[in-house]
């Protein structure tokens, strides 16, 4: 079993519900939509991601023999349930906003329309995929906004939550606009530029720090970025000037500890006084959009940032509110009324209005309404098959860049109001909500 | 390439350092140790986990042809580097505390001793594995302490950070003492008991709530736990009493929204007044150790808790301080002096002293010292091969239970002081640190 593709990467209740639906012949068409009710504090938007991975997963959904064997032997199900699962495929429709689209609360990211058991079955992994990619891409986009064009690279693999999260972080930071990742496997699988030179252990493995610097320049003359905070940062900066005068092509140095703004200023002075204005200063260590903003505001002469743990775990907000809810079954709109968990029922569409090059407002309406603005949800899979080629990460990267450029300035602040962008509900959708609530229970 | 086993799931700097070491013949024995310098606020201990997964990964470490092709073509390396990597295996020693051991700051979780390039190469994925398992197991153990013997289940798969994190969460919660997980794949792969009944969408798919309740009881008569907060929780509770009187074997109900303590009290009254004292009340929705503690302190009549997002993302503290540092190279102790990042050098051992059934204090000394107390680090792999069978999750679960029982009460508080447990540094280790610092740089 490949853990990424296994249909057993789901919650047991999906299977108990599917079992019950099949027993009762409840296989009519159902539409579920995924959306976020509210954003974390200080955020006005998020970036929809994970759409392409989800489409690929849906297309290949199938129970293998090992998985069916577990269903037979786990003790939860009647004997013939596994046989029914054996033939189950995703034969429905998958509509979604293009990956990399900026979205706002209560707007559907995607819609699944399929026979009720299938549409239910896919919930857990679909959410798992869309959530991690959306979470990390949205976080990385904030770093890109904060860095104001300075170089940004992803160093966070070691503390990402496992292998899939590490790769998702490398992909997310790249599509959000970072310049590269340290994660080699993301280079091999996605073609993302890889970056990296040395750790403190490299310096420690040599008798003297300067021996390590020389050895690295010898092995990697095109990529001489030296880590200078292992022992005494200022002493190391003077050594760098000396090496440069000897002809060693030092491109930059990295600071990874201490007061980065203060250290960067002192190191910059040493380089400038030594006539080495061309040597760049890179910084890493506990960086995220907030710390990058603080360093830039403090006038720190830092040319590039390496982010790690705080971005790859989305540490200040490691989860997003996200719900996959039944909107319509057998043609009738549905919604639950649990306290604090209301949502807009029925199959919906987002209509985005532009004022020249800027987004001016969205309306969420019914999927079959025609309202002014560009509809955002598009069909990705029809009857389980892709309608067009998958979108590559380069194209998603450009879409995110363009979407961020189109946002009004109030949305781009790191402490934006959740209401910075106007989202309206159409009157037809309000009517559908009243209708859904009128059902007896 | 399996992303979990690929040696390219690493940071590029590991490969650039390995390349340089090989070019210079720096292949002498190196020892690296993994440890945590400090814990999050309110925590006095953590639980070492991921040891078994790491041992299995080290044993199988090898570059495949696809991976070597990336090394050849990525543009960072000399042509023959890939050929040298092709024969690289983990041929060193791996010492670690038994998985599930309670540890404190500055104590080594594990030690890798191998030729410098190999010991360096393994850093990133080793940390990635130990970090996610340790993070989630430590978080889950706090929930177990908070729940005071009440039933606990893991519902968090959908917002865990990807597939590996979701499985790690199911495993972590189980070894920490939970009663089951919703994640089917964890049942199939690890044999963890799986739990689950229905989502709100199940209720919504029926014309009337009571039809959904009856249908579920019909399909799963042994597992009738009904979700009662879709429309009107108290009305649903009365329906449950009615169904029970009709002979439907309702085991319990689940509340997933609103003020859980208040709703549970009201539902309990309806059941008790209806003569249904045996129906259990389970709660879910934004639960972690803090909220469980609050609910129990408020006297909420809740028999079991389902944790989700907040536990599976370790939301209040989604990363732990953890460092893999060169301790010794060619027989000489090493440590860096970066501001705020000092650590104890040399190969170390932890000696734990017991006072009857309670841990009384640890001493961190040199690996070849003999001090009073039980040494905790044991050899797992010698020359790359396992010395004994892998430890199963059942045994790890028992070890965690026993380790938690042995902790002094001050350590078990959810707002424990980081100094609640005495850890001493041996005088020989202090001397080794002075020696390491005496190197010229």
Mean pLDDT of chain A: 96
Interface test with A, best of B184, B225, B340 (most A CBs within 10 A): B184
Q: So what's the pLDDT on residue B341? A: 61
| Residue in B6, B12, B329 to test binding to A, most A beta-carbons within 10 Å | B12
Superfamily of domain B12-136+317-437: nicotinate phosphoribosyltransferase (3.20.140.10)
pLDDT of residue A251: 98
pLDDT greater than 80 at residue A137: yes
Q: What is the pLDDT of residue A332?
A: 86
Low-confidence residues in chain B, pLDDT < 50:
none
Q: A223 with A251: CB under 8 angstroms?
A: yes
Nearest CB to A9 within list B166, B203, B235:
B166
Contact A9 B322 (CB under 8 A): no
A28-61+91-136+317-437 — its CATH code?
Answer: 3.20.140.10
ipTM of the complex: 0.97
Report pTM: 0.97
CB contact under 8 A, A309 and B326: no
What share of chain A has pLDDT > 70, as a percent?
98
Q: What is the pLDDT of residues A41-60, one digit of tens each?
A: 999 999 999 999 999 999 99
Q: Is A64 on the interface with B (CB under 8 A)?
A: no
Per-residue confidence (pLDDT) for residue A380, from 0 to 100: 98
pLDDT of residue B435: 83
Listed by number, the residues of chain A in 210-229 with a beta carbon closer than 8 Å to a beta carbon of chain B are 215-216, 218-220, 223, 229
Q: Which pLDDT does position A418 carry in this prediction? A: 87
Per-residue confidence (pLDDT) for residue A34, from 0 to 100 = 98
pLDDT of amino acid A341: 61
Instruction: Mutate one of B54, B81, B133, B163 to test the A interface: name it (highest A CB count within 10 A).
Output: B163
User: How far apart are alpha carbons A76 and A72 in whole angstroms?
Assistant: 8
The three-point CA angle A253-A259-A261 to 5° equals 65
How many angstroms separate the first and last alpha carbons of chain B? Answer: 41
The yes-or-no verdict on residue A147 having pLDDT over 70 is: yes
Instruction: Reduce the DSSP state of residue B184 to 3 states and report it.
Output: helix
pLDDT (tens digit, 9 = 90+) per residue, A114-127? 999 999 999 999 99
Residues in B touching A258 (Cβ below 8 Å): 338-340
- pLDDT tens string A181-236: 999 999 999 999 999 999 999 999 999 999 999 999 999 999 999 999 999 999 99
Closest CA to A343 of A323, A361, A357, A359: A323
Distance CA B78, CA B74 (A): 10
> Looking at beta carbons, which residues of chain B come within 8 Å of A325?
200-201
Domain ranges of chain B: 12-136+317-437
> Chain A, 264-303: which have a CB under 8 Å from a chain B CB?
none
What was the pLDDT predicted at A340? 59
A399-414 tens-digit pLDDT: 999 999 999 999 999 9
For residue B126, give the 3-state DSSP assignment. helix
CB contact under 8 A, A325 and B232: no
pLDDT digits (tens, 9 = 90+) for A229-238: 999 999 999 9
Check whether A175 has a pLDDT greater than 60: yes
Domain A149-312 sits in which CATH superfamily?
A: Aldolase class I (3.20.20.70)
Q: Nearest to residue A435, comparing CAs of A303, A349, A344, A321?
A: A344
- Nearest Cβ partner for A166 among B128, B202, B336: B128
**B125 within 8 A of B380, measured Cβ to Cβ:** no
User: What is the C-alpha to C-alpha distance for residues A192 and A174, in angstroms, rounded to an integer?
Assistant: 7
B438 has a chain A CB within 8 A of its CB: no
């Amino acid at each position: 079993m490949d853990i990424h593709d296994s249909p057993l990467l789901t919650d047991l209740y999906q299977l108990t519900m599917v079992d019950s639906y099949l027993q009762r012949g409840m296989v009519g068409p159902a539409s579920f939509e995924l959306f976020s009710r509210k954003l974390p504090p200080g955020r006005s938007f998020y970036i929809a991601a994970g759409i392409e991975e989800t489409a690929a997963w849906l297309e290949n959904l199938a129970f293998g023999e090992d998985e069916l064997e577990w269903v037979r032997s786990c003790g939860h199900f009647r004997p013939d349930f596994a046989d029914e699962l054996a033939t189950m495929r995703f034969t429905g429709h998958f509509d979604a906003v293009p990956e990399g689209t900026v979205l706002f609360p209560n707007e559907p990211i995607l819609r699944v329309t399929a026979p009720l058991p299938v549409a239910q079955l896919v919930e857990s992994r679909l959410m798992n995929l869309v959530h991690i990619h959306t979470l990390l891409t949205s976080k990385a986009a904030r770093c890109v906004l904060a860095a104001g064009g300075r170089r940004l690279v992803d160093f966070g693999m070691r503390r990402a939550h496992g292998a899939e999260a590490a790769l998702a972080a490398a992909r997310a930071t790249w599509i959000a606009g970072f310049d590269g990742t340290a994660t080699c496997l993301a280079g091999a699988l996605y073609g993302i530029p890889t970056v990296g030179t040395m750790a403190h252990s490299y310096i420690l493995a040599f008798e003297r720090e300067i021996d390590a610097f020389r050895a690295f320049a010898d092995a990697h003359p095109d990529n001489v970025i030296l880590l200078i905070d292992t022992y005494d940062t200022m002493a190391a900066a003077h050594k760098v000037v000396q090496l440069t005068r000897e002809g060693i092509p030092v491109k930059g140095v990295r600071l990874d500890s201490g007061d980065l703004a203060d250290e960067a200023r002192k190191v910059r002075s040493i380089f400038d006084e030594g006539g080495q204005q061309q040597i760049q200063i890179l910084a890493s260590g506990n960086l995220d959009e907030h710390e990058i903003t603080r360093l830039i505001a403090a006038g720190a002469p830092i040319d590039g940032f390496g982010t790690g743990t705080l971005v790859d775990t989305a540490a200040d907000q490691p989860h997003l509110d996200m719900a996959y809810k039944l909107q319509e079954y057998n043609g009738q709109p549905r919604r639950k009324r649990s306290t604090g968990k209301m949502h807009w029922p029925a199959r919906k569409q987002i209509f985005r209005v532009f004022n020249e090059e800027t987004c001016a407002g969205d309306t969420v309406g019914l999927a079959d309404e025609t309202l002014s603005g560009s509809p955002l949800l598009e069909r990705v899979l029809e009857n389980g098959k892709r309608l067009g080629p998958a979108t590559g990460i380069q194209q998603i990267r450009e879409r995110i860049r363009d979407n961020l450029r189109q946002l009004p300035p109030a949305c781009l602040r790191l402490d934006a109001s959740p209401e910075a962008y106007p989202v309206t509900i159409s009157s037809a959708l309000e009517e559908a909500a009243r209708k859904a609530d009128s059902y007896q229970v």
